[in-house]
Every structure is written in structure tokens, then in C-alpha cells.
Amino acid sequence: MILRRRATVAPSADAAPSATELRDERTTLRWRLALLTFAVVAFAVGLMTFLTYLTVSRTLTAGVDHDLEQLSGVLLEQSLDPFYLTNLNAEIQQFKMYNPETRVAISPPGWSFSRGDAIPVGGDLRGHLDHTSPVYRTVGGERIMSRSDSLGTTIVLARDMSGTHQLITSLGTVLLAITALGTMLAIAAGLVVAATGLAPLKRLQRAVDYVADTDDLRPIAVQGNDEVAQLTTSFNAMLGALQESRTRQSQLVADAGHELKTPLTSMRTNIELLMLLNQPGAADRISASDRQDLERDVMAQMTELSTLIGDLVDLAREDAAEITVESVELDEVIASSLARVRRRRPDLEFDVHMIPWRLTGDQFSLGRATLNLLDNAAKWSPPGAVVRVRMIPLANDRVQLTVADSGPGIRPEDRERVFERFYRAPEARSQPGSGLGLAIVKQTLVRHGGSVWVEEAPGGGALVVAELPGHPQPAASR
């Protein structure tokens, strides 16, 4: 058994690997995980930095707009006083004294010009003169607000944004530095996460390599209860199944060798005796009837050996876990097996009741299994006895097949073991057979989704009960 075998497929001449495929082959899982972690963290840091910059920039601008709106409200309220408009220039100068960073232009109602600073508004604001809500623009590094009241007074305020822009620029620089630092930390975090996250996988890989190198199928120690631990548990289950298969294989070889050795030894002895009798002058040492008995023994041993080899081949075929999927008429398979058994035991009566039943499976394997069931019942039934075969539907997708013989039956303590390979009850060891027939039956039925067990027949003898899936088949469709 080679556990580290790798299947390789040679690339065709016109299907050269792409650069991406070559890069993926060179990149280890550790670096892939590190790069993925770096990409996720870097994206998160970059996104948060951008959102922070955008939020702070808009907050500072909104603060300037709020100040301008409050100042415009005060000026509009003062413009309602006639004496304020009479001394407008002085009032503007006083306003600028208290607000040196703000420029102002006031246009009283009905005026076609304004007093104060010449403020470029960046467009025609006359469309907004009938609205009391403020209008904002940014022109030439200044934040400009225009606001009118219901009487027609218009206030235009402008504030230099250079300080705010400088603050925003400084903030952007700091955030870029934070982003760079965060990216470096993301790389380090990616490497740490990759090393830490893959440490259990490395331990599992070393354990698997040890199993492959030493062929030691002992379970691997499970640490924790995470996904790697579950993977280790699954691998241990695979090792257990592999060890069980190896044990069964060794046992099969040992049992087969033992079972083959007995008829081979006996047949060799009889053949050597026949060869000795064929020598000149030795023919008179044995009677003709004894010689015929000896020849019959050789033929019987050859038949027994041939049957045993056939059973071993069938058992190996079932072990291969390859099932031919085809539609099988179970009642026809049973009828074919029954015809063969009747030819072998014409002295028995077969009481048969079958129903049309179809399932999907391997017709050859099912034929072999049903033949073994009927052969087993015929072997243990005395001449003139009755073998009862019944097919009973349990549901629309399940059928029960029972085969009852008229023999001595099977002891309760042996009813489970009769399906083991090469097992033969003490009272059965004098009978011909290899002990593989019922093992083949069980293995075949289990592979087809069925089951089989042994009970005591109502009139005495053994009752073998088998269940199989499928569905009834109307007689008209056959």
C-alpha cells in the first residue's frame, strides 16, 4: 500500500499552463493566507482612513458654514433698523473689526449694488434672491455664503479656508502615515496568522508523512475540537477502515490458504496413490471397486476445490466494491436460481410464492446470492422435505425474501456467525462446503442496500430472512 501516491496528468502541447497557474503552484498555502490577511486588513485600514478624512473634512466645512449662517442671521436682523442702513459703511467696518477673517457685502432692498467687500460669488445668485435659505460656494480658496430675507436684503459673506485646508492637509498626511503603518502591521499580522493558523495542519502533515513513510496505521493524536481536529478524526477513521481492511485481507488469505490446503493435500495423496497403481505390476494390489472409489474421491476433491476457488473469486469480486448498475427483475433471478437447485436436488419439494419485483443492481451478484441461499436450504433438507420460498412486499420500496428449510436449524449463538467468512458450525463441518456461501449473500445484499438474518422456521429448521429495496412491477408491463 502506498499512501503518498500522486496522480499526474501530462499537459498537452497546446495547453500550456498560464502565468496565474504557475504562480499559484509556486505560492504556498502559508503565503496565500498571509497575503489574504494583509489584503483584508489593508483594505479595512485604507477604507477607515478615507472615511475619516472625508468625515473630518466635511465636518470642518460644515462648521464654517454654520458660523457664516449665524453671522448672516445677525446682519439680516440688524438691517431691519433704518439707522443701520444709514450708517452702513460704519456698521460694516465694525463687523469686520469683530470678525477679521470674514469679508462681507450687504445689498439693502431695492439697491442694485452692494456695500462692503467685492466678493466673487462664482455665479449668478439672483435666482436665489427670493429664497431665505443660504447658498454656499467655494471660490478661490474662500467659502462664500449668500442669503436674502423677505424684504430683499442680501448678505454675502466670505471666509478664507486656507487654515481649514491646511488642517485638512495635515490630517490627510497623518492618516496616510497611519495607513502605511497599518499596512506594515497587516503584513506582520498576516504572517503571524498564517503561521499560527497552519501550525495544526503542519502537525497533521508530519503525522500523515510518518504514516506514509513507516506504514504504521496507528491513530493520530487529536488536539482541540476545531476543524483540524475534525479532519484528524476523519483521517483516523480512514486509518481504522484501512487497518480493518488489511486485517480482513490477511485473514482472508490465511483462511483461504488453510481451506485450500486440506483438499489439495488429500487430492495429492490420492493422485500419488493412483500414479503408484499405474506402475507395472501394481494394478493387482487394489480391487476395481476401491480404485473407482479412489477416482471418485479425486473428482469430488477437485469439485470441492473448484467450488472453493469460485467462492473466493466471488468474494473478491464483492470486495472490489464495483457494482454494475442495471435494472434487475428479482423474481426472475430467483426463478433461475431455483431451476438450478431443482436439478441438483430433484428429491426435494419447493413451495414457492413470488411477486414481480424490480430493483437496480448487479444481476450476476444477486443471482449468486439467491443461488447460495437456495443451495444452503437444499443442502440441509433431507430427501422428500419441503423448502419454502416467499416474497412479501413490506412497503412500496421494500420487499422481504424468506427461505425456510427442513433441516436441524441453526443454534441461536451461531446465527450471527454463519455470515462470517469460513465460519462453519460444529455440526456443519462434516458437510461439504467452504463456509463462504452466506458470507457472499450478506455482502451482496448489504451492497444493494439490503440486510439478512437468520431465525427459526415455524415448522423447524432454519429461516433465512432477507430484505431488499426496489419497487413492485405490474405483471402487464413485463
**pLDDT tens digits, one per residue of 443-458:** 889 989 999 999 988 8
Phi first, then psi, for residue 471 (nearest 5°) are: -155, 150
Q: Residue 27: pLDDT above 70?
A: no
User: Predicted confidence band at 323 (pLDDT cuts at 50, 70, 90)?
Assistant: low
- What lies within 8 Å, CB to CB, of 199 at 6+ separation is none
The one-letter code for the residue type at 176 is L
Determine the pLDDT at residue 1: 36
More confident residue, 467 or 6: 467
Of the listed ranges 49-63, 200-214, 438-452, the one predicted with least confidence: 200-214
User: Predicted confidence band at 331 (pLDDT cuts at 50, 70, 90)?
Assistant: very high
Would you say 439 and 315 are in contact if contact means Cβ atoms under 8 Å apart? yes
Determine the pLDDT at residue 21: 45
Cα dihedral 262, 268, 274, 279, rounded to 10, equals -160
> For 381-402, what is the mean pLDDT?
92
Q: In angstroms, rounded to a whole number, what is the distance separating the alpha carbons of residues 20 and 23?
A: 5
Q: Residue 475: pLDDT above 90?
A: no
More confident residue, 476 or 44: 44
Q: Residue 182: pLDDT above 80?
A: no
Fold agreement between 227-307 and 323-425+434-477: no
> What topology is assigned to 227-307 in CATH?
Helix Hairpins (1.10.287)
93 to each of 87, 96, 113, 452, how far by Cα in Å? 10, 5, 18, 110
Supply angle C-alpha 250, 256, 258, rounded to 5: 105
User: Predicted confidence band at 203 (pLDDT cuts at 50, 70, 90)?
Assistant: confident
> For 467-475, what is the mean pLDDT?
85
Which range, 311-315, 432-436, 465-469, is most confident? 465-469
Q: Which three cell numbers stand for residue 21?
A: 497557474
Determine the pLDDT at residue 181: 83
In the chain, what are the domain boundaries?
19-216, 227-307, 323-425+434-477
Q: Residue 426: pLDDT above 90?
A: no
> For 351-364, what is the mean pLDDT?
92
Would you say 432 and 413 are in contact if contact means Cβ atoms under 8 Å apart? no
Facing residues of 403 across strands?
Answer: 389, 464
3-class secondary-structure state, position 115? strand
Phi first, then psi, for residue 398 (nearest 5°) are: -150, 135
Determine the pLDDT at residue 10: 41
Is residue 22 exposed (0-12), middle (13-18) or buried (19+ Cβ within 10 Å)? exposed
For the chain, give the mean pLDDT.
Answer: 78
Please give the span between the terminal C-alpha atoms of the chain, in angstroms, as a whole number: 48
Would you say 448 and 466 are in contact if contact means Cβ atoms under 8 Å apart? no
Q: In angstroms, rounded to a whole number, what is the distance separating the alpha carbons of residues 404 and 390?
A: 9
Of the listed ranges 1-10, 212-221, 232-241, 330-339, the one predicted with least confidence: 1-10
Of the listed ranges 106-120, 352-366, 418-432, the one predicted with least confidence: 418-432
More confident residue, 391 or 460: 391
Q: Where in 166-242 does DSSP place strands (E)?
A: none
Place of cell 431451476: 339
The CB-side HSE value for 32 (13 A sphere, CA atoms) comes to: 8
User: Predicted confidence band at 127 (pLDDT cuts at 50, 70, 90)?
Assistant: very low
Would you say 295 and 271 are in contact if contact means Cβ atoms under 8 Å apart? no
Phi first, then psi, for residue 18 (nearest 5°) are: -75, 170
Task: 442-449: list long-range contacts, CB under 8 Å, 24+ apart.
Answer: 443/315, 443/318, 443/319, 444/318, 444/362, 444/365, 444/366, 444/368, 444/369, 445/369, 447/318, 447/321, 447/323, 447/365, 448/323, 448/359, 448/361, 448/362, 448/365, 448/366
Considering the domain delimited by 323-425+434-477, tell me its CATH architecture. 2-Layer Sandwich (3.30)
Q: Is the dihedral of CA 44, 49, 52, 55 positive or negative?
A: negative
Is residue 376 exposed (0-12), middle (13-18) or buried (19+ Cβ within 10 Å)? buried
More confident residue, 38 or 336: 336
- The pLDDT > 90 percentage for the chain reads 14
Q: In angstroms, rounded to a whole number, what is the distance separating the alpha carbons of residues 85 and 79?
A: 6
For 82-110, b where at least 16 C-beta lie within 10 A, e where not — what string? eebbeebeebbeebeeeeeebbbbbbbee
Determine the pLDDT at residue 283: 60
Of the listed ranges 19-28, 298-307, 415-424, the one predicted with least confidence: 19-28
Determine the pLDDT at residue 6: 40
Would you say 29 and 205 are in contact if contact means Cβ atoms under 8 Å apart? no
Cα dihedral 358, 362, 368, 369, rounded to 10, equals -60
Task: Tell me the pTM.
Answer: 0.47
Q: In angstroms, rounded to a whole number, what is the distance separating the alpha carbons of residues 12 and 267?
A: 57
Note the pLDDT tens digit of each residue in 215-240.
777 777 777 777 777 888 888 888 88
